[in-house]
């Protein structure tokens, strides 16, 4: 830890316009605290109210998905850790990037789902969202209805982007980038 070059990290954060970065185990209360700090930062820096809510909502959805996944898999704190970055993308948009370790099979399915959503235009995303809302929820399902990912795709100004990186332990780091 002594050799950690904090100045280089700071300079990289400034260059990339990173507003918030978190890496570690994520709890419900931590999601809330970081979310409140993010919302306050956006409001204090005169972000458009609708943009601030979209960034906040995207952050919440991504982090809750990570937490639910880790819990459902019985991951340890280290296995279930999240990496989250929120940065300025340009003068009117923000980039929200979140990643976590997932099972290889789940990573492939998630990536395919993101690719399918990325190929849809706004009208198709809206129709898919409405269709998903009408579907009856399977009470035995361990995950949500998929509305969260659809909602993130609808809020995004550019297609969602998923990235997969295999890890040494046979799992995959799945990351999702949304530009809001």
Domain ranges of the chain: 11-179
Answer yes or no: is pLDDT of 143 > 70. Answer: no
Answer yes or no: is pLDDT of 169 > 70. Answer: yes
Question: Residues 33-73: pLDDT tens digits?
Answer: 999 999 999 989 888 899 899 999 999 999 999 999 999 99
Answer yes or no: is pLDDT of 144 > 90. Answer: no
What percentage of the chain reaches a pLDDT higher than 70? 95
Could you please state the CATH topology (level 3) that the domain comprising 11-179 is classified under: Heat Shock Protein 90 (3.30.565)
In sequence order, which residues have a C-beta less than 8 Å from that of residue 146 and are 6 or more positions away?
113, 132
C-alpha–C-alpha distance, residues 39 and 45, integer Å = 10
C-alpha atoms less than 13 angstroms from C-alpha of 77 in its C-beta half-sphere: 5
Q: How confident is the model at residue 89 (pLDDT cuts 50, 70, 90)?
A: very high
In sequence order, which residues have a C-beta less than 8 Å from that of residue 108 and are 6 or more positions away?
164
Answer yes or no: is pLDDT of 142 > 80. Answer: no
Q: What is the pTM of this model?
A: 0.90
In the prediction, which pLDDT does 1 show? 64
In the prediction, which pLDDT does 135 show? 83
């Amino acid at each position: 830890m002594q050799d950690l070059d904090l100045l280089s990290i700071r300079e990289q954060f400034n260059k990339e316009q990173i507003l918030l970065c978190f890496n570690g185990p994520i709890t419900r209360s931590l999601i809330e605290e970081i979310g409140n700090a993010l919302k306050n930062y956006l409001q204090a820096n005169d972000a458009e109210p609708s943009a601030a809510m979209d960034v906040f909502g995207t952050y919440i959805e991504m982090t809750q998905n990570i937490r639910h996944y880790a819990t459902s898999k019985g991951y340890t704190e280290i296995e279930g850790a999240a990496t989250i970055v929120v940065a300025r993308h340009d003068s009117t948009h923000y980039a929200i990037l979140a990643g976590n370790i997932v099972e290889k099979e789940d990573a492939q399915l998630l990536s395919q789902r993101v690719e399918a959503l990325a190929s849809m235009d706004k009208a198709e995303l809206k129709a898919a969202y409405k269709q998903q809302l009408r579907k009856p929820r399977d009470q035995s399902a361990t995950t949500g209805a998929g509305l969260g990912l659809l909602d993130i795709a609808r809020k995004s100004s550019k297609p969602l982007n998923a990235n997969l990186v295999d890890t040494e332990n046979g799992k995959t780091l799945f990351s999702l980038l949304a530009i809001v």
